[in-house]
A and B are shown apart, each in its own frame.
Chain A
Amino acid sequence: MRTCHRSHFTAASVLSITILAGCRSGAGAGDPDDDSGGGSDETAGSSADDGSSGDDPFQTSKFECDPTQVPAELGLRRLSRVQYVNAVRGLVAILAPTDVEGVIAQAETRMAAMPTDARSGPDPQYGGLSRLDQSIFQETVEGSYHVGAAIGAAVADDPARLTTAAGACATDADTGNDAACIEAFVRSFGARALRRPLTDDDVAFYVDVAGPELEPEDYADIIAVLLCAPGFLYFVEGGEGEGGEATPLTAYEIAARLSFHFWQTIPDEALVAAAERGDLLDDELYTAEVERLFHDQRSVAALGEFYGEWLDSPHTAELDASIGMPDYDAFLEGFVPSPDTRANMAAELRDMGAYYTLDAPGSFDEWFRSDKSFARTDDIASIYGVAPWQGGEPPTLPDGREGIITRALTLATGSAVTHPVLKGVYARKTLLCDPVPPPPPDAMAVAMGIEDAALGSRARAVAISEARGDCAGCHTGFINPLGFVTEDFDGLGRHRTIEKVFDKITGDLIAEVPIDTSAVLQIDAGDEREASSAGELNAMMLESEKPQACFARRYFRFTFGRIEDDTSDGCTLATVHQALVDGDDLGVVVRDIALRPEFRTKTIEAGE
């Protein structure tokens, strides 16, 4: 799905300069200028980084594990859109293994029209995840029906496909075997669609979808109903035993969680078989199965979704949007952004995460301050001055470029200038999970703009931040310094030793401003240390253990599909955080969350 990153086209995307009030007590994280996020937050619950609960703008990096605490019930989750589409394809591959695309083509229009998931969370633009969007839309309900009907028709209307899907008994002239044929189909296909063996009641229900005189079209109806079933569209988890706190999931429910978490699709035959054998209820065998899933290349896409959504930079506009502006054209100095340049920048962060997690597992620190390039395309590689990555050992970046904060996506602005304020906001919100307080109501009354452009980006940011006394409190100590440290990279992400300022009308070079990257960072309250390079900033951030805590929060959300609670989810958060701090491989950390009891249990509150 193509997305629009043109920042100026919405009032909700007020991003180029955000003036913030003092970091006052009790302030929320939301930015009044920033209401463009996706789903309604009301469904997202209360998070630890929404800033609504504390007086401190600095997020904690400490989690406490109280084993007596029990996680809240995880409400009935639906498949994300990505998972839904993959699951439909997975089932079509079972029905028509040699003609998947032919069948899918008949449902493609319907599928494309279904709503996308919005990146959601307390502050959707910064670390919002699409898995958290649990909205139930009319269009989803109707769309899934139409997709199911189209898939069913595509199979049932073609005798060859139907024979493959249900056996010769479904298409032969013998009416005597029809009932057994359709029941066998319901049992076999239904088990894959619902991700568990069907009970006799289930079978009777789905067989009854067919009319009294069985026809091939009845298979279409059964497929349609199964592709809309609650057990297909949702994670229906009743667990084993009496219910209540930490109810163990069934082997099949565990298999579904595993498969959709790591692969974003239905369990494969081996996982189904493991569930059938009960292997998933045995710790050792379960661990082996988790290991198998995690190391399968099918987990790359899910990892990419996690890293891509978490690290996306809302202030990076499309890089080709300002082509034709004289100053931008001059600034580019021959670089030609394409409509894909921003997407290529984003792809690098996804690939980078997958590399350190799966391909060549490294520690959190190694990933966070990596000096390797994962730019696969010429445009991004040329920004870095390296050859495109072809897989294998990635090229080493020059010029002291290291870490997430020096990647093209986090530096680029789509204009001829840098945005140190917004780089600071990104570091605070995305990498440290600090809740940045909103600006005061009248902050925008300050005349802001492009005056005094010749000052250069840093001096201009300082001037604007100090234009009002109540802005400086947050900007001077809390936000701006984190953006100043990477001012040795320009608005495209190229390394620079001098800031060139271009005339907006003529494109002429009108000033050359010395670069100053020094800043007192205040990573945490009272921290007065100074840094002047990305390397120093990375080191200080890691030392604070806040990025590791931020990862723990975000990966918790990605895994469990809900906002963490620092108290009741403290054990999971503390374990993940400590493992990252201890230098465990990212791959181990990501894999091991599936080994935790919370992944295999569910608190089930009594129904009516």
Chain B
Amino acid sequence: MRSRLTNKFTRRMFLRGTGGALLAIPLLESLLPRGANAGGTLGSPRRLAAFATGHGGIRSTNMFPNVATLTASQSYAGHTVRRGDLAIAVDGGIASLSPVMSASSSALTSTIVAKMNVLRGLDAGFYTAHTSGIHLGNLAGHDEALVPATQRRPTIDQVLAYSEKFYPSVPLVRSISLGYNYNISIGRENPFDPNSPLQDVPNVERSIDLFNQIYMAPDPTEESRPPVVDRVLADYQRVRNGPRISAQDRVRLDAHIARLEDFLAKLAAVQSCAEVMAPTMEAQSVMWDTPNFHTDPSAQAQYWQLFSDVVAIAFSCDTCRVATFAADALMDYAGPDYHQDVAHRAHQNSPIEPPEDPLSQVFAQQLVRDGHQRFFEEVYLDFVTKLDAIDDGSGGTLLDSCLVAWTQESGIFTHDAVDCGVVLAGGAGGSLTTGNYCDYRNTSVMGNQYGNSYPGPFPTYPDDNTPEFTWFGLLLPQYYGTVLQAMGLDPQDYEESSYGGYGPMLAEADTTNHPESVRSAAHDVLPFLGA
């Protein structure tokens, strides 16, 4: 007779608080018990949250801090890279690092900024057009016309999710993937088999479902009887080893078996929080019940906040350490196609003709800037603030053990993965220095992925006559590797190319833009960030 497993879930819940408003803000006062802490120190588990927004095309003077603040430099990978201290300017209750990275001075504080990094000058190395893979290391994306499918890779969140270094024991939930109309997370059918086919990681569609994953409501059946997952597993194993199973079928069954084994291991997972109130408002309901949700930035913000509430709980209680958010700028554009009407013209700063065009008096770049500013303040910074409000028990906060990244689909020109920006918060448990504004561009190699056909510099704004060019810099695989190293992995855990970094080196064969010195640097943690 089989041995029955013991249900080791120790979760205890205060079910269903009343009033969704309780959830809204601040989250943790309403959902987590008083005195909640992250149960760790700066040596505690590290967590990664990755926010992604589409389109890109944010003008550099809107996205980045002033280049005049780059006061230090060093020679690196054959060119000069620069850094400066991140410092906010406060005016009228608004604190700013840049027009996009601005927020209420009560939220964007010096304390928070000291825990941030802003990076620029990172490139894909080839034309990417659209790829959701740019955010997390699947640079080949889905488009076989640009990059062969053989170059696709699992995204780094999935590398972490199935890393024994990152998760010494199996967690309740290995990773959280969020988004309602696209995915940024790619894994394998059998996550323990490096030759297994790639597949999108499904997004969790409902925030309450997510909560139930990380704080599964006590199930009478589970409470009263031990689970029989072991018997399910045994069933698969006996069929798998049966006489009439083909080689192909066996591989598929192995994938299912691997996931059952993981499931079985999770049954022993514990969490550090015992008392959590379930959210009473559903993010998906916000989307469905809000008229014109897609032009209502407040509703869009609320949607993401409801999810990030739950992610903060998961991080705090250590039921999951990695989450991805496939998001977008918080838009209020009411036209039929934001990307076409706005993002495609993001470089246009002069009034649009004809005058009756509703955008004629509103610069496309202004819409881009404002949408991303709202995203920064109401989604990204909101989440960062939540993490920083949780005491880690040793004088620090949960944010200190986290890395919260924000990346965009393109660099400062839409479709063009040159001079991509990365916003980071948290020092990943002391793995990274913080408070840096880092500029990795090589200002001797002009970067213009489109060649001469592209308009080149931004046309000048009436109030800003400084044209802007792009310049090639360091490569994104180095950024991905930096994240993995910050999360505790060593280069040998993930590198596959002699150049280093994460993923294949897809940079164009022509080394003019990205010379060997830049490619080889991908082994390293990005300059200025190594602790």
Residues on A close to B: CB < 8 A? 2, 4, 6-17, 27-30, 32-43, 50, 52, 73, 75-76, 78, 109, 112-113, 115-116, 118, 135-139, 141-142, 145-146, 149-150, 152-153, 157, 205, 208-209, 211-212, 217, 220-221, 224-225, 228-231, 233-234, 236, 238-239, 243, 317, 321-322, 324-325, 413-415, 437-438, 441-442, 444-445, 447-454, 503-506, 510, 604-608
Contacts and interface: CB of A to CB of B under 8 A. Distances in A.
A152 B221 contact: yes
B144 A75 contact: no
B322 interface: no
B225 interface: yes
Given A10-B182, A137-B202, A448-B340, A40 B142 contact: yes
Contact of B174 (A40, A138, A506): A138
Contacts of A217: 224-225
Nearest to B235: A229
5 contacts: A11-B339, A16-B337, A217-B224, A441-B415, A451-B357
Contacts of B249: 75-76, 236, 607
Contacts of A28: 143-145
A153 B221 CA distance: 6
Looking at chain B's contact residues, the main secondary structure is loop
B512 interface: no
B67 interface: no
A42 B197 contact: yes
Nearest to B331: A9
A52 B231 contact: no
Interface in B339-360: 339-341, 343-345, 348, 352-354, 356-359
Nearest to B226: A221
Contacts of A30: 142-145
Given A11-B54, A229-B232, A504-B358, 4 more contacts: A9-B294, A75-B248, A75-B252, A152-B221
A380 to B, nearest CB: 20
Contact of A141 (B4, B228, B263): B263
Contacts of B455: 445
Contacts of B186: 40
Nearest to B293: A6
B507 interface: no
Contact of A448 (B141, B209, B344, B353): B344
Most buried by A among B132, B199, B354: B199
B212 interface: yes
A212 B243 CA distance: 30
B341 A450 contact: yes
A11 B409 contact: yes
A142 B262 CA distance: 10
A605 B248 contact: yes
A12 B56 CA distance: 12
B236 A230 contact: yes
A415 B197 contact: no
B290 to A, nearest CB: 12
B130 A12 contact: yes
A324 B292 contact: yes
B149 A41 contact: yes
A444 B56 CA distance: 14
Given A32-B146, A510-B356, A76 B288 contact: no
Given A43-B197, A142-B263, A230-B236, A15 B212 contact: no
B244 A238 contact: yes
Contact of A12 (B54, B250, B256): B54
Nearest to B259: A141
B256 A136 contact: yes
B336 A414 contact: yes
B54 A10 contact: yes
Contacts of A39: 199-200
A153 B231 CA distance: 17
A608 B225 CA distance: 37
B244 A243 contact: yes
Nearest to B201: A137
A238 B240 CA distance: 11
Looking at chain A's contact residues, the main secondary structure is loop
Report, nearest first, the 10 A-B pairs whose CB atoms are least far apart.
A238-B244, A11-B54, A32-B129, A28-B145, A153-B221, A115-B202, A8-B338, A76-B252, A76-B249, A135-B199
Interface string B108-121: 00000000000000
Most buried by A among B197, B212, B451: B197
A564 to B, nearest CB: 18
Most buried by A among B1, B224, B453: B453
A322 B248 contact: no
Given A39-B200, A40-B197, A73-B246, A209 B142 contact: no
B430 interface: no
A2 B288 contact: yes
Most buried by A among B200, B229, B246: B246
Contacts of A6: 294
B88 to A, nearest CB: 29
A515 to B, nearest CB: 21
A138 B263 contact: yes
A504 B219 CA distance: 55
Nearest to A52: B144
Contacts of B292: 321, 324
B335 interface: yes
B14 interface: no
Contacts of A109: 209, 212
Contacts of A413: 336
A217 B259 CA distance: 26
Contact of A113 (B209, B247, B409): B209
B339 A4 contact: no
Contact of A449 (B127, B149, B334, B345): B345
A441 to B, nearest CB: 4
A221 B228 contact: yes
A32 B251 CA distance: 32
Given A8-B338, A76-B253, A211-B1, A35 B244 contact: no
Contact of B336 (A224, A233, A415): A415
B245 A238 contact: yes
A606 B250 CA distance: 10
Contact of B338 (A9, A136, A228): A9
A28 B149 CA distance: 12
A496 B132 CA distance: 40
Contacts of B253: 76, 230, 234
Contacts of B255: 136
Contacts of B130: 11-12, 14, 32-35
A234 B252 contact: yes
Contact of B450 (A10, A234, A445): A445
A34 B255 CA distance: 30
Contacts of A50: 144
Contacts of B256: 136, 141, 230, 233-234
B222 interface: yes
A441 B252 contact: no
Contacts of B262: 138
A576 B225 CA distance: 53
Given A76-B248, A445-B450, A451 B145 contact: no
Given A6-B294, A10-B328, A325 B199 contact: no
A211 B206 contact: no
Nearest to B209: A113
Given A141-B259, A441-B127, A451 B353 contact: yes
Contact of A441 (B328, B341, B449): B449
A8 B341 contact: yes
B19 to A, nearest CB: 21
B269 interface: no
B198 interface: yes
B145 A450 contact: no
Interface in B379-429: 409, 414-415
A225 B209 contact: no
Given A30-B143, A40-B142, A449 B340 contact: yes
A75 B334 CA distance: 46
B344 to A, nearest CB: 6
